[in-house]
Copies of this chain bind each other. A is one copy, B any other.
């Protein structure tokens, strides 16, 4: 029978393998979500740009047109870049994630490419969705400015707190996630101590 120390060593090794596997699967799902969300929102941005009633633009103050143009361009660019990064990494991660064998997880490039995945995720989810809400603000102003400025102001009063709520959620969520990771590590350490003590 293995000695208690060897048992702990084995357990720690198995836990590490599991954690590596979990990171691989998480990265795989993140990359798939980036592809889906970014192509959807980039598509909406393109449609909003193309379906613009060009002939009526002269009625609007230039600041509004400039804001709309830069926001739409940024929205499409951000999602295109996120899509590109996701598309480049996905085949290399997915090829190992589909094998359903934990031992191969270490050979996947998802840890060395973690920085790239994080950038794509931030571009697509955090910046991209935030820009989408700002884009909505510009569309509201362009649609209702002439006929009912009150409607524009009410839409603004709904959107501004929403964007703040959005930023708040993103901050809270990542703080919670970090805490969850730390607590899981502490739990693991406690577990090790208990095993070591027995």
Contact = CB atoms under 8 A, between A and B. Distances in A.
Interface string A155-169: 100110010011001
A87 B170 CA distance: 11
Contacts of A43: 40, 44
Interface in A32-91: 33, 35-37, 39-40, 43-44, 46-58, 60, 62, 65-66, 68-70, 73-74, 76-77, 80-81, 83-85, 87-88, 90-91
Contacts of A184: 107
One complex includes copies of this chain to the number of: 6
A109 interface: yes
Given A94-B25, A147-B57, A140 B51 contact: no
Contacts of A165: 81
B49 A85 contact: no
A194 interface: no
Given A47-B50, A69-B152, A158-B70, A22 B173 contact: no
Interface residues of A, number: 93
A95 interface: yes
Given A88-B125, A104-B18, A146-B54, A158 B77 contact: yes
Interface string A131-163: 011001001100110111011101100110010
12 contacts: A25-B94, A25-B95, A29-B90, A37-B83, A40-B43, A49-B139, A65-B144, A69-B155, A73-B136, A84-B166, A92-B177, A116-B173
Interface of A: 18, 21-30, 33, 35-37, 39-40, 43-44, 46-58, 60, 62, 65-66, 68-70, 73-74, 76-77, 80-81, 83-85, 87-88, 90-92, 94-96, 98-99, 104, 107, 109, 112-113, 116, 125, 129, 132-133, 136, 139-140, 143-144, 146-148, 150-152, 154-155, 158-159, 162, 165-166, 169-170, 173, 176-177, 180, 184
